[in-house]
Structure 1
Amino acid sequence: VIQMNEALTPVNQSADESLYSFNLNDYLALVEWTGRAIVHPNKATIPPHVTSTFHRLNLRQSNWLDQIQRLNQGQPTMMGSIEKLREKAKAIKKNWIKGMGQAKLLYQS
């Protein structure tokens, strides 16, 4: 059982877990806002606590919804920062991974 303020286990198992760590409460707030914004795009105001999650995760909130909606279209095949995508491409012996362009739009430099 996980508590609402307990940090979630990072999906990527990154050595720098501080960038990706957030608690269940923050995760649920982000998911809830994302769903509302997709269903009612003209009514979805970003709450301050969700804005702070974007900042902490180094994400551009202006591109978040576009990125999430592209997941349903099979694009990109992976999500993450450019550095993480490059590391993954190298690990699987690929020159590139579909989604690099979107990562440039989504993640802050």
Structure 2
Amino acid sequence: MDWTGRCIRDGKRGAIPAHIRPILQRLEIKQDNWIDGIQHYGNHFYKVVGIMRHLLEETERQGRKWFKGQSAARLLYQ
């Protein structure tokens, strides 16, 4: 995904500049666990995906105690 976004080709409206950190790093996602997380998405997550801090913020915002994925977030995200 990151590589595709950085490609510069005729007819393409834009590209991710070289000085911007790779997408997975910006999202604080562990690269080693990315493929497993995508292949088994439904087993790990349900309504929300993100770093633990964001999951907890969304849990509180919605008045919930937890979301499926909080334990997976600890493994998948840095």
TM-score scaled to structure 1, two decimals?
0.49
Distance 1:75 1:105 in 2: 10
- Match of 2:50, SS? coil
Counterparts of 1:25-104 in structure 2 under 5 Å? 52-71=22-41, 73=42, 75-77=44-46, 78-104=48-74
The number of residues matched between the two structures is 63
Once superposed, what is the RMSD of the aligned Cα atoms? Answer: 2.4
- The gaps in structure 2 that reach 5 residues or longer are 1-11
TM-score scaled to structure 2, two decimals?
0.65
Between 1 and 2, higher relative CO (CA 8 Å, sep ≥ 6) is seen in 2
Aligned 8 A contact 2:34 2:76 in 1: yes
- The gaps in structure 1 that reach 5 residues or longer are 6-22, 26-50
| Offset of residue 53 of structure 1 | 2.9
1:3 is aligned to 13
For residues 11-43 of structure 1, the C-alpha deviation after alignment (integer angstroms, 9 at most, x for no partner) is: xxxxxxxxxxxx4x9xxxxxxxxxxxxxxxxxx
User: Sequence identity, in percent?
Assistant: 30
Distance 2:43 2:28 in 1: 23
Q: Which has the larger radius of gyration?
A: 2
What code does the residue aligned with 2:14 have? Answer: M
